């Protein structure tokens, strides 16, 4: 039969060969991106993982004696920096840790009496961590704990600089919770350029290309603007009885948190930058927060999680 097809029309033979190859030797599919987020579902605040298409969440990083306040993925997707707090202690006991994406080789970073605050941010080359502190401003530190130094000026007005995010170009966008300002600076450290000053602005996040900024307006909802503060527009309008908190922005979409102000429940949602595709990822009577995109291909190679207690 194959011989007759080849004699009659060579294109049919090519089609048959293509079908056979596609059937028995399919192209390997790319691993789906996942979301890491903090949840109190298991008792202590731990890191959970969830596929973007949904399914059952998996607890991946947990300590019995520590709350994990935030986890931040390096630009390469191979390392994590996370901030912890001793169970039963107040917020003045924060510690910074760095380890591999699977939790192996996790080690505490000594910060010389500087108390870290959550969340932190990685530089594009995975070498520097931008570190907010408790009322001492923003610092940078090498991933091995060396060369700790202030990023923003050590002045009273900058002591409440927090919520840093680093763009693919190495620019740092951050929020000042005391002055209610959003500013941009460089990793070299200098006076930040003011791009937004509105009551209740928090949690700025860069777009994947570093051209736009996502931020939370506690009155209006989630908003987008250009890096110079222009073209400010609404992404999601806040409804009565809820609060919206910006999360992480990647080519897979924008992660954010919806807060039910009556029950206190917090759930992770995802939406496209154009406002389409808005959908819930987590649900239930729990506090789910600080979502981060994780590269699916990196996670597919993880066989064991190394610091489950």
- The answer to whether residue 79 sits within a structural domain is yes
CA atoms within 13 A on the CB side of 104: 6
190 and 206 in contact (C-beta within 8 Å)? no
Does residue 38 fall inside a structural domain?
yes
197 and 100 both lie in a single domain? yes
Whole-number average pLDDT of the chain: 81
Q: In the chain, what is the straight-line distance between the N-terminal and C-terminal CA atoms, in Å?
A: 63
What is the DSSP pairing of strand 233-237 with strand 171-176?
A: unpaired
Please check whether residues 66 and 1 belong to one and the same domain: no
Same domain (yes/no): 73, 3:
no
Identify the domain containing residue 154 by its residue range.
Answer: 31-299
CATH number at residue 219: 2.120.10.30
CB-CB contact of 121 with 76 (8 Å): no
pLDDT, tens digit, 9 for 90 and up, residues 8-61: 455 544 444 333 434 443 333 345 688 999 998 877 888 888 888 878 888 888
Residues 23 and 133 in one domain: no
Domain count, the chain: 2
One domain for residues 169 and 58: yes
- Stated pTM of the model: 0.84
In a domain, 55, yes or no: yes
Q: Are residues 173 and 290 both part of a single domain?
A: yes
Question: Is residue 147 included in any domain, yes or no?
Answer: yes
Q: Is residue 309 part of a domain?
A: no
Residue 231 lies in a domain: yes
Residues 111 and 89 in one domain: yes
| Residues 46 and 188 grouped into a single domain | yes
Q: Which residue has the higher pLDDT, 87 or 187?
A: 187
Residue 133 domain-assigned (yes or no)? yes
Residues forming a β-bridge with 36: 49, 292
Separation CA 203–CA 245 (nearest Å)? 7
Q: Map tokens 């910006």 to a residue.
A: 246
> Looking at the domain assignment, is residue 2 inside a domain?
yes
Ramachandran sector of residue 135 (left: φ over 0; alpha: ψ -120 to 50; beta: rest):
left
Question: 135 and 9, same structural domain?
Answer: no
pLDDT top residue among 103 and 257: 257
Is residue 45 located within the same domain as residue 13?
A: no
Range from 38-47, 136-145, 255-264, 294-303 carrying the lowest mean pLDDT:
294-303
Same domain? For 23 and 152 the reply is no
- 75-95 pLDDT, tens digit each: 888 899 998 888 877 666 688
**Range in 32-41, 138-147, 190-199, 244-253 the model is least confident about:** 190-199
Largest CA distance in the chain: 86
């Amino acid at each position: 039969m194959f011989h007759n097809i080849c004699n009659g029309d060579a294109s049919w033979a090519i089609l048959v060969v293509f079908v056979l190859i596609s059937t028995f030797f399919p192209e390997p599919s790319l691993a789906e991106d996942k979301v890491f987020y903090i949840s109190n579902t298991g008792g202590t605040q731990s890191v959970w993982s969830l596929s973007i298409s949904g399914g059952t969440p998996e607890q991946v990083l947990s300590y019995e004696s520590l709350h994990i306040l935030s986890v931040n993925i390096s630009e390469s997707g191979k390392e994590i920096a996370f901030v912890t707090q001793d169970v039963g202690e107040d917020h003045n006991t924060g510690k910074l840790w760095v380890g591999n994406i699977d939790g192996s080789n996790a080690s505490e970073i000594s910060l010389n009496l500087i108390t870290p605050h959550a969340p932190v941010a990685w530089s594009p080359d995975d070498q520097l961590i931008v570190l907010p502190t408790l009322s001492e401003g923003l610092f940078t530190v090498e991933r091995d704990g060396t060369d700790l130094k202030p990023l923003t000026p050590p002045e009273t007005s900058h002591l409440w600089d927090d919520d840093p995010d680093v763009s693919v170009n190495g620019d740092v966008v951050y929020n000042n919770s005391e002055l209610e300002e959003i500013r941009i600076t460089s990793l070299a450290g200098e006076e930040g350029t003011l791009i937004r000053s509105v009551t209740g602005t928090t949690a700025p996040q860069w777009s994947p290309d570093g051209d736009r900024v996502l931020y939370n307006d506690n009155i209006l909802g989630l908003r987008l603007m250009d890096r110079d503060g222009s073209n400010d527009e609404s992404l999601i309008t806040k409804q009565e009885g809820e609060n919206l908190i910006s999360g992480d922005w990647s080519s897979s979409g924008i992660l954010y948190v919806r807060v039910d102000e009556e029950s206190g429940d917090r759930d992770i949602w995802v939406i496209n930058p154009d406002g389409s595709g808005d959908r819930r990822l987590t649900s239930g009577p729990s506090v789910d927060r600080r979502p981060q995109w994780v590269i699916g291909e990196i996670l597919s190679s993880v066989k064991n999680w190394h610091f489950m207690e």
